[in-house]
Structure 1
Amino acid sequence: FESFIWTIPVILVLESTGSCITCGKVEYRIGDECCPMCLKGHHVHSHCTKFTSIPVCVLCIDSTFLDEPSGKTTCNNCTTCDPGLGLKVKQPCRPSSDTVCETLEGFYCLDPTKDGCRAAQRHSSCKPGQYISHTGTTSTDTVCSDCPGKTYSDGSLTSYQPHTECEFLEIEPGTPWLDSECGVASLPTAGFIAGVLIGVLFFLIASIAGVCLFMRRREMERREIMRTRQNLDPQIPKQASPDQEIPMLSGGTGKDSSPRHSQGLHIL
Structure 2
Amino acid sequence: MRATLYFYAVGFYHFLSIGSTCGPNEYRSAYGECCPMCNLGSVVRSDCSGDLSTTCQPCPPGTFMSEPNGLHRCFTCKHCAESQGLYIQSKCTTIQNTICDVLDGYYCIDYSDSQCRHAEKHRVCRPGQETKTAGTKASDTECVDCAPGFYSPSGLNCIKWTDCAARNEIQTEDGSPVKDVTCEQKPKERYGLVDLIATTFTEFYRILSSEGQ
* TM-score in same-fold range (> 0.5): yes
Q: Structure 1, residues 61-84: CA drift from partner, whole Å, max 9, x if none?
A: 221001111111111111110000
Q: How does 1:55-70 map to 2 (within 5 A)?
A: 55-70=54-69
**In the alignment, what sits opposite 1:213?**
none
Q: Which runs of 5+ in 2 are unaligned?
A: 1-11, 197-213
| Structure number with bigger Rg | 1
- Counterpart AA for 1:181: T
Q: Which runs of 5+ in 1 are unaligned?
A: 1-12, 204-268
Q: How does 1:186-225 map to 2 (within 5 A)?
A: 186=186
**In the alignment, what sits opposite 1:148?**
147
* CA RMSD after TM alignment: 2.9
- Partner SS state of residue 111, structure 1: strand
With the length of structure 1 as denominator, give the TM-score of the two structures. 0.59
- Partner SS state of residue 131, structure 1: strand
Q: Structure 1, residues 6-26: CA drift from partner, whole Å, max 9, x if none?
A: xxxxxxx7xx84995111232
- Counterpart AA for 1:34: C
Q: CA deviation at 1:116?
A: 4.0
Larger strand proportion of the pair: 2
Is the 8 Å Cα contact of residues 109 and 118 (structure 2) preserved in structure 1?
yes
With the length of structure 2 as denominator, give the TM-score of the two structures. 0.73
Following the alignment from structure 1 to structure 2, what is the Cα–Cα distance between the partners of residues 68 and 154? 56
**In the alignment, what sits opposite 2:163?**
165
Following the alignment from structure 2 to structure 1, what is the Cα–Cα distance between the partners of residues 181 and 25? 74
Following the alignment from structure 1 to structure 2, what is the Cα–Cα distance between the partners of residues 44 and 181? 79
Q: Cα–Cα, structure 1 residues 49 and 18, in superposed 2: closer, same or farther, change >3 Å?
A: farther
The answer as to 2:44 corresponding to 1:44 is yes
Following the alignment from structure 2 to structure 1, what is the Cα–Cα distance between the partners of residues 109 and 50? 50
Identity of aligned residues (%): 35
Q: CA deviation at 1:171?
A: 3.4
Q: How does 1:114-133 map to 2 (within 5 A)?
A: 116-133=115-132
Following the alignment from structure 1 to structure 2, what is the Cα–Cα distance between the partners of residues 110 and 67? 26
Q: How many residues align?
A: 178
Q: Cα–Cα, structure 1 residues 113 and 18, in superposed 2: closer, same or farther, change >3 Å?
A: closer
